[in-house]
Amino acid sequence: MKNNINTIPNIRHTDSKKFLLIAGPCAIEDRNTTFQIAQELKNITDELQIPFIFKASYAKMNRTRYDSFQSIGVYNCLRIFREIKDILHIPITTDIHSGRLESAIIDCVDVIQIPALLCRQTDIIEQAAKSGKWINIKKAQWMSLHDFYHVLEKANHFGAKNKILWTERGSFFGYQDIIADFKNIYFGKVFERPVIVDITHPMKSAYDEETDPQLIERFAKAAIAMGADGIFMETHPDRLTAKSDGKAMYPLSMVKQLLTDLIKVQNACI
């Protein structure tokens, strides 16, 4: 593996050899909820000695409906990110959407996330790669693994080199439905980059129904058993009141048990 996540600022427990966790709410809704999630995830991952990156979107710019929640404001989100970093000392990631307009956000986070729907945008990849930060590129649902290779090479060309993670987000199957192709975990190892598997978005119903947590759990265990280097999940203390993607998020109260089970799966498959 070319990449060594030890160089991600503030990351802990990398010597435990356990899978990486990228987790947090879909979007920043307010200070208290965001901080609560970050604090709880830090406590859990410290106890279980799991490397952890906190994720939260500062804006949702790709919503289908015009009246969907987008953001509480860039500068409000920046203040929350900085408070989490100053108090909890954990690495943070958020997604960017433009090649020119988000320098303040890039400066504030430790890992830049490239959204799946924008992973082919050269200007975004270039700005993220040239920032010197780690980047996590989510594979678009409509891209084959073969085509996605060129996205990773693009990031490498612009200077990201050994600071690249990539996330398997699932693939389109029919209209709006998404399936998870476990072959991508296996064959994706040829990229020599950590393979992260999104365990919440691929389980989302095409009909906007509430995702069954047991489905997420089984998928997560299968991903770890297939050799995933990390898990990406969105979580919330009261997901049905969340302002963005609540029905697809995993309950925060269940995260500790899930991670405990995933450690057992990883140990059994070594």
In the chain, what is the straight-line distance between the N-terminal and C-terminal CA atoms, in Å? 16
User: What is the DSSP-derived secondary structure letter of residue 164?
Assistant: E
Distances (CA, A) of 125 to 2, 14, 25, 94: 19, 26, 24, 14
Render each residue's pLDDT in the chain as its tens digit; 270 residues.
456 899 999 999 999 999 999 999 999 999 999 999 999 999 999 999 999 999 999 987 777 677 676 778 889 999 999 999 999 999 999 999 886 657 888 889 999 999 999 999 999 999 999 999 999 999 998 999 999 999 999 999 999 989 999 999 888 776 667 788 888 998 988 888 999 999 998 777 666 677 888 999 999 999 999 999 999 999 999 988 888 887 889 999 999 999 999 999 999 997
Count of beta carbons in the 10 Å neighbourhood of residue 148: 21
Provide CB contacts within 8 A for 229, sequence distance 6+. Answer: 1, 19, 20, 194, 195, 196
Architecture of domain 5-269: Alpha-Beta Barrel (3.20)
Radius of gyration (Cα) for the chain, nearest Å? 17
- The residue extents of the domains of the chain are 5-269
User: Do β-strands 111-114 and 92-95 pair in parallel, antiparallel, or remain unpaired?
Assistant: parallel
Structure tokens belonging to residue 63: 């919503």
Predicted model pTM: 0.94
